[in-house]
Structure 1
Amino acid sequence: MQVNINGIETRYVLSNEGGGPWLTFIHQLGGDLSVWDQMAGYFRDDYTVLRYDVRGHGHSAVAREPFTMRDLADDLAKLLDALGAPTTHVVGLSLGGMIAQQFALDHPSRLDTLTIADSTGGTPPENRELWNQRAHTARSDGMEALLPSTIARWLTPDFQAGHPEAVEPIREAFARTPPEGFAMACEALRDFDLRGKHGAIRLPTLTVAGRHDTGTPPAATQAIAQAIEGARFELLDAAHLAPVEQSHRFAALLESFLERRV
């Protein structure tokens, strides 16, 4: 399904077999809503599961102008408005986790719980140039130039070798991401920094990291939990895409977390 959100044609998929509380999944940079296929299948009998392509990713349109993480959080708010969802549980992976954090600060009354996977609370000044470089590479050389190093960071070698059926859709989604959409998201990520603001988040919060994540070290995700009162931190035996690599364990953690708060 497509809906125009803040001038952006946005793809979403709604699975509401259970007709239960809303549960929204937000994908990573260079991904699309398909990264959550397995989770949607697991939770759709008990929740109204929403997945969508962040602007400039998947089948959502590329923005005409630069945007910020606040704009991406507002996209989610407008999408929920369009679909008639008063509140939702939110689960964000990597870039999706940053959107979720911003959403929790800007729209606290719309959230039931917050789950953040393999994400950070802000980009340190020394890492900003890295995102400029990735944006430049995408624009000048295309997504294929970034693909090998990205997959190496996202998934452990053992998982890549043992689960090609899971790896290939992730590779394909990254390769077909519009370079300009990716680059603009890199620039929003470059400027993202909520450090020092997390104390204002007063929501049940679960954070999850991959032990072998070299791109976003587990300590960065743990720092979010430490900054939010009562938040919980879990470490899984995975790289950056922990909800994919440890899908059963992640689903069990999320199910237990949500059941206590529904």
Structure 2
Amino acid sequence: MQVNINGIETRYVLSNEGGGPWLTFIHQLGGDLSVWDQLAGYFRDDYTVLRYDVRGHGKTAASSAPFGIADLSHDLATLLDALGAPTTHLVGMSMGGMIAQQFTLDHPTRVDSLTIADSSGGTPQEARATWDQRAATARRDGMVSLVPATLSRWLTPDFQAAHPEAVEQIRDVLTNTLSEGYAMACEALRDFDVRSKLGAIRCPTLTVAGRHDTGTPPASTQAIADAIEGARFELLDAAHLAPIEQSHRFAALLETFLERPV
């Protein structure tokens, strides 16, 4: 399905077989909504599951002007408005986790619970140049040039060897991401920092990290939990895409977390 969100044609998939509470999944940089296929299938009988492509990713159009994570938060709010969702449980991975944090700060009464995987509350000053470099590489050399190093950060060698079909789908999505969409998102991530504000989050929060994540070390995700009162931190035997690499374990954690009384 497509809908115009803040002037951008946006793709989303809504699975509401269960007609239950809203549950929204937000993908990583260089990904799209298909990364959540398995988890969406797991939860759709009990929840109204929403997945969408962030601007400049998948089949969502690129932005005509630079944007920040606050703009991506506004995109999500507008999408939820268009679909008639007053509140939602939020699950965000990597870039999606940053959008989820920003959205929770911007719209605290609309978030039933917050789950953040393999993400951080902000980009340290010393890491900002890395995002500039990735943006420049995408614009100059295209997405193909970024694929090998990205996959090595995202997934462990054991997972890549055992699940070639899953890896191929992730590779295809990354390769076909719009170079400019990717580059502009890199610049948004470079400027993101809500670390001083996380203490204001009051909703139930679960954070999950991959033990072998070199791009976003587990300590970065744990720091989010440490800043939010009552938040829980879990470590999985995975690299950066922990919810995908350890999908069964992540689904069990999320199911238990969502069922706990608020």
Cα distance in 1 for partners of 2:177, 2:255 equals 30
Q: Secondary structure at the match of 2:222?
A: helix
2:60 counterpart of 1:90? no
2:21 counterpart of 1:35? no
2:57 counterpart of 1:57? yes
Cα distance in 2 for partners of 1:177, 1:40 equals 22
Q: Secondary structure at the match of 1:85?
A: coil
- Compute the RMSD of aligned alpha carbons: 0.6
Residue identity in the other structure for 1:196 = S
Residue identity in the other structure for 1:19 = G
Cα distance in 2 for partners of 1:182, 1:45 equals 33
- Other-structure match for 1:186: 186
Residue identity in the other structure for 2:22 = W
- Over residues 42-62 of structure 1, what are the superposed CA-to-partner deviations in whole Å (9 max), with x where a residue is unaligned? 000000000000000000000
Q: Secondary structure at the match of 1:14?
A: strand
Q: Secondary structure at the match of 1:54?
A: coil
2:83 counterpart of 1:79? no
- Other-structure match for 2:151: 151
Q: Secondary structure at the match of 2:196?
A: coil
- Over residues 137-191 of structure 1, what are the superposed CA-to-partner deviations in whole Å (9 max), with x where a residue is unaligned? 0000000000000000000000000100111110000000000000000000000
Residue identity in the other structure for 2:138 = A
Cα distance in 2 for partners of 1:225, 1:57 equals 28
Q: Secondary structure at the match of 1:46?
A: coil
Within 5 Å, give how 1:105-184 maps onto structure 2. Answer: 105-184=105-184
Give 1:261 shift.
3.5
2:215 counterpart of 1:215? yes
Q: Percent identity?
A: 80
- Over residues 2-54 of structure 1, what are the superposed CA-to-partner deviations in whole Å (9 max), with x where a residue is unaligned? 00001110000000000000000000000000000000000000000000000
Give 1:115 shift.
0.2
Residue identity in the other structure for 1:44 = R
Give 1:195 shift.
1.1
Q: Secondary structure at the match of 2:216?
A: coil
Residue identity in the other structure for 1:17 = E
Cα distance in 2 for partners of 1:181, 1:232 equals 33
Residue identity in the other structure for 2:148 = P
- Over residues 65-117 of structure 1, what are the superposed CA-to-partner deviations in whole Å (9 max), with x where a residue is unaligned? 00000000000000000000000000000000000000000011110000000
Residue identity in the other structure for 2:222 = Q
Q: Secondary structure at the match of 2:184?
A: helix
Cα distance in 2 for partners of 1:110, 1:55 equals 21
Cα distance in 1 for partners of 2:48, 2:40 equals 9
Q: Secondary structure at the match of 2:123?
A: coil
Cα distance in 2 for partners of 1:251, 1:204 equals 17
Cα distance in 1 for partners of 2:144, 2:42 equals 32
2:25 counterpart of 1:25? yes
Residue identity in the other structure for 1:111 = V
For normalisation by structure 1, the TM-score amounts to: 0.99
Q: Secondary structure at the match of 1:207?
A: strand
- Other-structure match for 1:104: 104
Q: Secondary structure at the match of 2:132?
A: helix
Residue identity in the other structure for 1:150 = T
Q: Secondary structure at the match of 1:203?
A: coil
What stretches of structure 2 of length at least 5 have no aligned partner?
none
Q: Secondary structure at the match of 2:233?
A: strand
For normalisation by structure 2, the TM-score amounts to: 0.99
Structure 1 residue ranges (4+ consecutive) displaced by more than 3 angstroms after TM superposition: none
Q: Secondary structure at the match of 2:121?
A: coil
Q: Secondary structure at the match of 1:146?
A: helix
